[in-house]
Chains A and B, each alone.
Chain A
Amino acid sequence: MDRTQFLLALSVALFALGLVGVIIRRNALVMLMCMELMVNGVILSLVTFAARTATASGAVLALLVFVVAAAEIAIAIPIVLLLVRQRQTLDVGAYARLKG
């Protein structure tokens, strides 16, 4: 197993752990942080490929993903604040009004 393969396996592991967290945790903020973990796994794979091919494109793409993640957090946290203001809880199980 060479270095690239090892780092890709690490990024798969981080992505899967983040997915587990998004599915199983109840706290809305913790779910957001698990999404950040998934984004970090993807960025690790981008940087790994950029370092393997020694092209700047992968690093530029990683930089753009940073910006998208920052924008995502900037819009997701006000939504969580708004939800907490309505129901006074961070438990996503309480937000089941759309359930049929």
Chain B
Amino acid sequence: MESVLLYAFSAAALTGALLVLIARHPMRVALALIATMLSLACIYALLGVHVIAVFQVLIYVGAVMVFMVFVIMLLDTRDPSFVNRYSRLLVPGVLVATLLAAGLGHALARHYVAGPVSTSPADFRLQPFSAGFLREYWLHFELTSVLLIAAVVAAVAVIQGRGGRDG
């Protein structure tokens, strides 16, 4: 049952990723990407890593993609990039990515060591995870807050940094 669900959500994630490449309007691209992210969150939950599954939904779908959808609605003009979806790099881009995927897939097939798979999801419940997180990785946690503040300041500076000359 679990592996059937795993394959089903993987197929859903791949379908969403293909739709991201194919869809014409950015709003449809965003919806396909949201479907991919939700399928990935289900895969994380199936793996027993519930913390990451929750954060995938909260941060990615809840914050990043909602932000993206608002920006798409803000910029919804008739744009030439809606008509011509693909640039001139269509064939070389597909070739390069196919080569990359073939190389990585070859390495995965050749050098993969089927080690013992641990099946103790106890480490990933919220309480031990957060206790370990804040005991061992508190410095990284604090550094992410510095990074987020820097990003917010930089975003404000990018929009208003030209002395307010263009609004």
Q: Do A and B form a real pair?
A: yes
In the docked arrangement, what's the CA distance between A7 and B118, Å?
15
The DSSP consensus for interface residues of chain A is helix
Check B104 against A36 for contact (C-beta < 8 Å). Answer: no
Check A77 against B71 for contact (C-beta < 8 Å). Answer: yes
Per-residue CB contact flags for chain B residues 57-79 toward chain A (1 = under 8 Å, else 0) read: 00110011001100110110101
Check A70 against B81 for contact (C-beta < 8 Å). Answer: no
Number of interface residues of B (CB under 8 A): 86
Chain A residue contacts of B121, Cβ below 8 A: 51, 54
Chain A residue contacts of B133, Cβ below 8 A: 56, 60, 63
Number of interface residues of A (CB under 8 A): 73
Chain A residue contacts of B63, Cβ below 8 A: 70
Check B151 against A89 for contact (C-beta < 8 Å). Answer: no
Q: Does A98 contact B (CB under 8 A)?
A: no
Check B59 against A66 for contact (C-beta < 8 Å). Answer: yes
Known: A32-B68, A56-B133, A71-B151. A20 touches B93 (CB 8 A): yes
Chain B residues numbered 99-127 whose CB sits less than 8 Å from any CB in chain A: 100-101, 104-105, 108, 112, 114-115, 117-121, 123-124
Check B55 against A78 for contact (C-beta < 8 Å). Answer: no
Chain A residue contacts of B17, Cβ below 8 A: 13-14, 17-18, 37
In the docked arrangement, what's the CA distance between A68 and B60, Å?
11
Check A23 against B104 for contact (C-beta < 8 Å). Answer: no
Q: Which residues of A contact B (CB under 8 A)?
A: 2-10, 12-21, 23-30, 32-34, 36-37, 40, 43-44, 47-48, 50-56, 59-60, 62-64, 66-75, 77-82, 84-85, 88-93
9 nearest interchain CB pairs?
A: A23-B93, A54-B118, A71-B151, A16-B101, A27-B81, A91-B81, A26-B81, A51-B47, A20-B97
